[in-house]
Structure 1
């Protein structure tokens, strides 16, 4: 093992000993061609849904207020 690998392993071992575990999270690549267009498309769908269902925002706010520590 290289010194860097040993240091990384020690750090991981210490974190595990502290009760933590590693988690890998995959997120969208914002550099991908078309990412901006897809964001705009989804935002447009949400805006259209709000226009067609005036009670939607009220429903979402009510649902959100049920969450512990949520500030509306």
Structure 2
């Protein structure tokens, strides 16, 4: 492992520590579902979103193959 870390440092990278939610915690799945419902409701209420996404897709692939 040290060899790998040394190689990454030599490539100009440095390690960092991040904290993420514990997926094993009680209620985690329910909170994910709640947040997904909030996002879905916001998307459904945004009538311009579909047009925006369609326009973005045309920008990515003018031939319509995306």
TM-score range, shorter chain: 0.5 to 0.7
Uncovered stretches (5+) of structure 2, i.e. residues with no partner: 60-65
- 1:46 corresponds to which residue? 39
Uncovered stretches (5+) of structure 1, i.e. residues with no partner: 1-7, 67-71
Change (3 A) 1:26 1:50: same
Report the alpha carbon displacement of residue 58 of structure 1 after superposing the two structures with TM: 3.6
Q: CA RMSD in A?
A: 2.9
TM-score between the two structures when normalised by the length of structure 2: 0.59
Count how many residue pairs are aligned between Structure 1 and Structure 2.
61
| Structure 1 runs, 4 residues or longer, greater than 4 Å off | 8-11, 60-66
